[in-house]
Copies of this chain bind each other. A is one copy, B any other.
């Protein structure tokens, strides 16, 4: 007899019922060729004795295997492995391999995206995280949102078709957005011009996938939001970098490039460019729109930071003016609600939205219809507006508080231009201090920095005053230590 005590592995601690463990073990043994078609299995009495379990347990396992055609039970005669099992090449017995097949690597060639470091150090993050401009979710109206969400799903008659229309976004949310985007951004659009996405990044991805291919050219700022660059690289398009100075992306440089070669798209972050936080100036905005008409390229306007502007109203989006419909406008609710919620939108001409919707369907079918409807209610009842007003005031104070702190405590180490809005300050280290050394410090974690500019993003929105003080003090001691070290 085969060594069934080794073929059938029973773990009484496991939540899997023992009869299923027996069945699983026998299936695995059949599958790896240990048990072949027609092989007689021990009687239930024998096997029960070998394994030290009750006979009824073995019978239940055999019945399960019979129901699934792995074995044939000939009553009062024998139990045998099904005759339909194909002949398998004998394999070296390896208990290890059977139990943990997923310990192996996938050995079929596949595309490599990047050296992935996600999630690796996340558990051991220090207490102080200097993010790149996150909202403070402690201020989020998420509780109101969920209250509405629950009241929606409790209406049993209403939830039946909650998934209808979620690929483009529920009609209810798109209708509210038509009004909301008109009031807040001067956009003149209809529900057909809107696609609800899982945040701004998905809008960038969809635009890139539809507009670009290996023969395309796209212009981006230098430096730029690195995830956007990666998204464009995915399409194999050529990425052309144009300097971003204190007035935003250099539109004269764009013009010179357009005269030399066909440009398919320009990606801009007109409010609070990432990472440097500058705002695109009026003359460059107009110039960019003109160039778009003259050289026929799409403008991908990533306006993720529109809602937070402190000293005046924000500049109206490029998408709000006369642009012949060549501006793809990208916005997000993640900065208002919570980055974990993943809600954003794209505004574009109807023919483009239609294709993005079709494409999005094969990516992930659609979004959460309840969440969309809950957000629509919040917008309709001006709850979102009230929240925005409150959080804007709070972030404005935090920006100013950090401004004072930086001047007082880090004055001799850093310089910066106070941004007119947004959630982060682009802090440049003075040349004799090194950003590489600063980010190597393990007492705090800086999310976004730039070696070339010797600078980092100091997200102030997510921290209250005590936390800002703590973060600045931590930076200060690190810089002081560095300064002593270099003396």
Contact = CB atoms under 8 A, between A and B. Distances in A.
Given A85-B283, A154-B143, A364-B199, A211 B108 contact: yes
Interface in A79-102: 82, 84-86, 88-89, 91, 97-102
Interface string A186-223: 11111001000111011001000111010000000000
Interface stretch (A20-28, A391-399, A434-442): A20-28
A261 to B, nearest CB: 15
A296 interface: yes
Contacts of A57: none
Interface string A305-331: 000000111011001111111111000
Given A188-B100, A282-B82, A326 B108 contact: yes
A361 interface: yes
A68 B205 contact: no
A350 B486 CA distance: 43
A179 B125 CA distance: 26
Contacts of A323: 101
A26 to B, nearest CB: 11
Contacts of A361: 118, 201, 227
B364 A186 contact: no
A324 B264 contact: no
Contacts of A408: none
A358 B11 CA distance: 36
A217 to B, nearest CB: 13
Contacts of A297: 108
A107 interface: yes
B213 A111 contact: yes
Copies of this protein chain in the complex: 2
Interface stretch (A40-48, A162-170, A411-419, A470-478): A162-170
Interface string A147-184: 10110011010011111111110010000000100110
A377 interface: no
Contacts of A91: 322
A433 interface: no
A55 interface: no
A24 B316 contact: yes
A352 interface: yes
A169 B156 CA distance: 29
Contact of A102 (B68, B116, B347, B367): B347
A340 B164 CA distance: 8
B202 A326 contact: no
Contact of A110 (B167, B211, B285, B341): B211
Interface string A361-374: 11111111111000
A114 interface: yes
A223 to B, nearest CB: 18
16 contacts: A16-B182, A27-B321, A82-B282, A85-B286, A86-B290, A97-B324, A98-B322, A101-B325, A106-B298, A106-B349, A113-B355, A114-B358, A138-B159, A146-B149, A163-B339, A342-B368
